[in-house]
């Protein structure tokens, strides 16, 4: 089943890449390193990079060159509250076009375990400080179900399916925008502390202003707990 799912995701991506479109297409590799601290505190370091296949390349048929776009480095401190909930605050630094963009994030995550799957709700607010634009304020909600692909729970050396669905409300100056994200991912758990996830990351925004932007990323993330 996991092979068919992976094949479907990959074929979809290849087909997307073959389409002539104004959509942005690219890769989104990420590494997440989590360090457990005393008294239910933990620290998360995340590196994420973007390589995009520029629309001009698509239009001119010059080949499928993927160009480096940006890198994000973030550090988040979180505290487990209650049984399986966590409160977190973080700082992100984005390096894009030789300029630094900074972002502060605050989030609350609730994870519920059911007989055959886990369901996570993540509520986030963030503030982005870009020297060339007014401060952007966002209110986000993400829901994530996670299913084992064999048995009733995800055990080491097993595959799983995860689906991120996020709604991002953005306020910048006098403008408002809504972005939707749909991210189906195939995961593989090496151990409880090391997981690899791979899939499609589809984002759509500006549709409220009749100027729809679509982004298709191929997502590859590694989660490591040390």
Partner 1 sequence: MNLQTPLLLAVLLLLAVQAFGQKKYEKEYRLKQNKVPAEAKKFVEALSFSGRVKWYREESLNGNTIEAKVTHNQKKHSLEFDTQGNLQDVEVQINWSEIPEETQKNISKNLSAAYTNYKINKIQVQYTGQTSTLLALLKNQETTKEYATKYEIVVKGSKGRQVKLYEITFSQTGEMVATAEIIFRNIDNLAF
Closer residue to partner 1 (CB): 26 or 170? 26
Closer residue to partner 1 (CB): 144 or 177? 144
SS3 126: strand
Distance separating alpha carbons of residues 85 and 100, to the nearest angstrom: 32
HSE, side-chain direction, 13 A CA sphere, residue 26: 22
Distance separating alpha carbons of residues 15 and 165, to the nearest angstrom: 22
Q: Are 40 and 80 in contact (CB under 8 A)?
A: yes
Residue ranges that bind partner 1, judged by CB under 8 A = 2-3, 6-7, 10-11, 13-14, 17-18, 20, 27, 32, 34, 44, 46, 58, 61, 63-64, 66, 76, 78, 82-84, 86, 88, 107, 109, 111, 113, 115, 118, 120, 122, 144, 146, 150-159, 162, 186-188, 192-193, 195, 197-198, 218, 221, 223, 225
Using a 10 angstrom Cβ sphere, with 0-12 exposed, 13-18 middle and 19 or more buried, the burial of residue 108 is: middle
Q: Are 222 and 31 in contact (CB under 8 A)?
A: yes
Closer residue to partner 1 (CB): 171 or 198? 198
Token representation of residue 145: 């179900």
Closer residue to partner 1 (CB): 14 or 95? 14
Distance separating alpha carbons of residues 193 and 222, to the nearest angstrom: 10
Distances (CA, A) of 215 to 107, 135, 140, 183, 205: 24, 23, 18, 11, 9
Closer residue to partner 1 (CB): 25 or 101? 25
Closer residue to partner 1 (CB): 80 or 213? 80
């Amino acid at each position: 089943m996991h092979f068919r799912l992976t094949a479907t995701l990959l074929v979809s991506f290849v087909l997307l890449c073959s389409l002539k479109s104004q959509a942005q297409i690219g890769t989104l590799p990420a590494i997440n390193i989590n360090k457990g601290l005393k008294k239910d505190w933990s620290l998360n370091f995340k590196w994420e990079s973007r390589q995009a296949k520029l629309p001009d390349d698509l239009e001119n048929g010059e080949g499928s060159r993927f160009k480096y776009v940006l890198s994000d480095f973030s550090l988040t401190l979180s505290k487990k509250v209650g049984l399986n909930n966590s409160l977190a605050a973080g700082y992100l630094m984005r390096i894009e076009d030789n300029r630094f963009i900074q972002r502060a994030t605050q989030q609350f995550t609730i994870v519920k375990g059911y007989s055959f799957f886990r369901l996570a709700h993540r509520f986030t607010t963030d503030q982005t400080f870009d020297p060339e634009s007014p401060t952007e304020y966002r209110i986000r909600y993400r829901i994530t179900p996670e299913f084992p692909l064999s048995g009733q729970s995800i055990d080491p050396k097993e595959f799983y399916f995860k689906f991120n669905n996020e709604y991002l409300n953005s306020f910048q100056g006098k403008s408002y925008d809504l972005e939707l994200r749909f991210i189906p991912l195939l995961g593989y758990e090496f151990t409880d502390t090391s997981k690899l996830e791979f899939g499609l990351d589809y984002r759509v925004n500006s549709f409220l202003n009749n100027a729809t932007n679509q982004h298709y990323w191929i997502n590859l993330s590694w989660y490591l707990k040390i």
